Chain A
Amino acid sequence: MKRFNIIYFAFIFLLLVSIIYLYINIGQFEEKTKDNIKKVIFNNTSYFIENISSIIKNDINEDLYTTLKKNHKLRNKLEKQMETIVTPSFKYVYMLYRDNNGRYRYLLDGSKDDKGVFDTKFDVNKDEWDKVYDTKKPNVIYQDDIFGLWVTTLSPYIMNGKVVGIIAIDFSTTLFKYMTEIISPLKEIFLYIFVSVLFLFSVIIYQVIAQIRAKKDSIIDPLTHTYNRIFLRDFVTKIDFYNYDIAMFDLDYFKKINDNYGHKAGDYILETFSSIVKKNIRDKDIFIRFGGEEFLLFVYKKKKNRSYAKETIVRIRKSIEDYKFKYESFDIRLTVSVGLVVEIQKYKNIQEIIKKADERLYKAKHSGRNRVVDSDNTINNDTIMVNKLSISQIKQAIDEDRILCQFQPIYRLKSSEIKYYEALVRLCDKSNNLVYPGSFLDSIEGTNIYRDMTKKILAIVFKKIANQGVNISINLNLSDIIDSSIYEMLIKEIRNNQDISKFLTIELLEYEDLDNNLLQYRLSEIKQYGVMISLDDFGSGYSNFSVFESLPIDILKIDGSLIKNIDKSEVSFRIVEAIVLFAHNLNIKVVGEFIHNEEILKIVKSLNIQYGQGFYLGKPIDDIF
């Protein structure tokens, strides 16, 4: 297509040049023809002038002026002879002499009209006539206009080596007019074609420029002036990615910048961050905004310095750490986490490399942020160990249906009946060994794979509910409810199973500082389908009593670390006691987990905790019968 465009462009250009060439040639042809006509006229008049000269010479041997002045009859005779050559074209034939005052006067006039009288003055173009006297050579005066051509041929009459008169013939022709009539339409046609082609050419140039500009605009992120994903899509097909080390950047706690200072501050940070990175890289390195606050950097490999990419990335990380982002009156400090892949040859395609960079970025994030992870095994100041299942292994397990659930019963302690089961996700590796969430959940958190896995678990759980008619709980992070892609999938699955959704309980983990209004709205929407909401691991970490004010909680699960020590620790006992009292007052059911012996069970019961879970009561089972 691109080659076709060049050919098309070249063709139009060639056409334009050809038309200009033809147009110029027609003009030259016209001028050449005019010159030739002038030559023909001059040759003809020269012939007549020669004849007139010989006639005069035949009759006059002495002083011309005196002879003619004296001999009136001779004048008449000669004028009659000159008159014979007068035609509509050779209009005036006459002979003048220059007097002592430099004025030209008639000697003879063979013209039929406007006849001059002997020795009277005739005002002529003196300079041109004087040339003939001075040079003793003929001269031709042309007067050209659009209607025709006037030519005055002047020829010296020489006696005894001296010019004594000038024979003049005024010639007029309409040949030029006719020629112009023929050539003008041709010139006009070429002019119109030229203008049309020029217009076409201009349109093409305009379109090409517009296309280039549009293409440039489409691949440049308007905020950071870095390349965008559209560029990446095209770029990866054109490059040999083995020539690059690839890094993925993510600004730490960027969301907080937007929340605290507003989106304009966020835009400023992104813009400034990009310019800092660009200052630290070379022209052949490619910096791309991958989305949001995520960026990709393709560092062109240096043959003599294999650690060049890492040095560059570490330098950038340090620059960001040291940089004071000044927004309005605020000094904002920021850090960046980076996943770097330098062992490119291990991967089959660019997607795998980007995925690996993403995994390492994730590790950098979950290892305290503000660091560079460039390996799956090592750890140092700028790196962190990664020793769990890779994203590709997890994805493969999902694709091959090797995700499953174990179910741990939760008992109603008064009646010793199973109230519901907690679904516990497991991954079955290729050797058929069970892999626990600690080895894979962290790796995929925040990725589409995490969402796919959640969807898989929901499908397993709903299937089990449909088959067994039991209550089952699943675990989700509060942030999953905020994450629109996970939430939309979740609500869709609940709607698809709304006749059995009342058997589902969602246990929420990780009480972060999240948007309570959105959480409240979304949890209320979930509860409309009869789904129960449980708060997991309450009493440790970031547990906050204020969540009960805004979130619609049905069940509260006391953190296992409190329960497992409740028989030994007075503090744990008192905390649990307070939590239970608080929950009862709010009519929230309480679950005690980690019940691993009879003593703990007794204490839990004594505290009026309604539900119990733990190895003493029932271990996770592969299936519910």
Chain B
Amino acid sequence: MKRFVLLTMFVVSSFSSQINVEKKIYKMIFSALFPSNSVVKVWSDEPSKTFIFASMKKVKLVKSQNNADILMLYHNEEIDTNNKIVFANGYLVFQRKKGKAVGGFYWQKGRPNLIFVKKILQKKGIVLPDNLKKYIEDIK
């Protein structure tokens, strides 16, 4: 019983702390990519992650990619990005989508990792604030 309680506590606490980190990073990403938007419209291909965006301030979760400002992708499936800003969530997804994605966020070895792709940023005419410039990678 005690083990079960401890395990539950561990899972809940580590999960909630991980979500909090993710929320902070997403907030930072959205305000960097859309500095003038009062509300950022987000579409995600992973239903289980939508609650994170739904709970964020100044973020609106939309059901159609067409209505979105940014597409948050967790899967490798090809979708019609319709020239929208794409952001990869996961290492493998980022590797696969790095030609399209403006950046990627993933956990590796228990550490949060953030990357912005220089080529795509330039293509989209996005200038990141100084605090995020260290995450820009010149990926060819």
Residues of A within 8 A of B (CB): 91-92, 94, 101, 103, 111, 114, 116-117, 121-124, 147, 150, 170
Contacts and interface: CB of A to CB of B under 8 A. Distances in A.
B113 A111 contact: no
A123 B111 contact: yes
Contact of A147 (B10, B113, B114, B115): B10
A503 B113 CA distance: 124
Contact of B134 (A92, A103, A124): A103
A474 B111 CA distance: 116
A94 B108 CA distance: 12
Interface string B69-98: 000000000000000000000010001000
B108 A117 contact: no
B109 A170 contact: yes
Interface string B98-134: 0000000001111111110000000000000000001
B10 A170 contact: no
B134 A116 contact: no
Contact of B109 (A111, A117, A121): A111
B6 interface: yes
A147 B99 CA distance: 40
Contacts of B95: 117
A103 B108 CA distance: 16
A147 B134 contact: no
**Tier of interface size on chain B:** 10 to 19
User: Interface of chain A, helix or strand or loop or mixed?
Assistant: loop
B109 A123 contact: no
B110 A121 contact: no
Given A103-B134, A121-B137, A114 B108 contact: yes
Interface of B: 6, 10, 91, 95, 107-115, 134-135, 137
Contacts of A117: 95
A488 B137 CA distance: 115
Contact of B6 (A101, A116, A122, A147): A147
Contact of A114 (B6, B10, B109, B114): B109
Nearest to A109: B109
B6 A123 contact: no
A92 B114 contact: no
B113 A121 contact: yes
Which of A111, A116, A121 lies at the interface centre, i.e. has the most chain B CB atoms within 10 A of its CB?
A121
A122 B108 contact: yes
B110 A116 contact: no
A123 B10 contact: no
11 contacts: A91-B109, A103-B134, A111-B109, A114-B108, A114-B109, A121-B113, A121-B137, A122-B113, A123-B113, A123-B114, A170-B109
Nearest to A105: B137
Q: Which 9 pairs of residues, A with B, have the shortest CB-CB distance?
A: A123-B113, A114-B108, A92-B109, A114-B109, A147-B10, A121-B137, A123-B111, A170-B109, A121-B115
A414 B38 CA distance: 137
A390 B91 CA distance: 117
Contact of A124 (B91, B111, B115): B111
Nearest to B106: A114
Contacts of B6: 147
A150 B114 CA distance: 22
B110 A123 contact: no
Contact of A116 (B10, B108, B114): B108
Contacts of A103: 134
B29 to A, nearest CB: 14
Given A103-B134, A117-B95, A121-B115, A150 B110 contact: yes
A221 to B, nearest CB: 64
B118 to A, nearest CB: 12
A123 B112 contact: yes
A147 B10 CA distance: 7
Which of B108, B113, B115, B135 lies at the interface centre, i.e. has the most chain A CB atoms within 10 A of its CB?
B108
Contacts of B114: 123
Nearest to B3: A181
B18 to A, nearest CB: 14
B127 to A, nearest CB: 18
Given A114-B109, A116-B109, A147-B10, 16 more contacts: A92-B109, A94-B109, A103-B134, A114-B91, A114-B107, A114-B108, A116-B108, A117-B95, A121-B115, A121-B137, A122-B111, A122-B113, A123-B114, A124-B111, A170-B109, A170-B110
Which of B91, B109, B115, B137 lies at the interface centre, i.e. has the most chain A CB atoms within 10 A of its CB?
B109
Nearest to A94: B109
A488 B134 CA distance: 109
A245 B3 CA distance: 81
A366 to B, nearest CB: 91
Contacts of A114: 91, 107-109
Nearest to B139: A120
A30 to B, nearest CB: 18
Contacts of B115: 121
A259 to B, nearest CB: 82
A124 B111 CA distance: 7
Contacts of A170: 109-110
A94 to B, nearest CB: 8
Contacts of B109: 91-92, 94, 111, 114, 116, 122, 170
Nearest to A177: B6
Contacts of A124: 111
A124 B108 CA distance: 10
B99 to A, nearest CB: 15
Contacts of B137: 121
Nearest to A143: B110
A103 B116 CA distance: 14
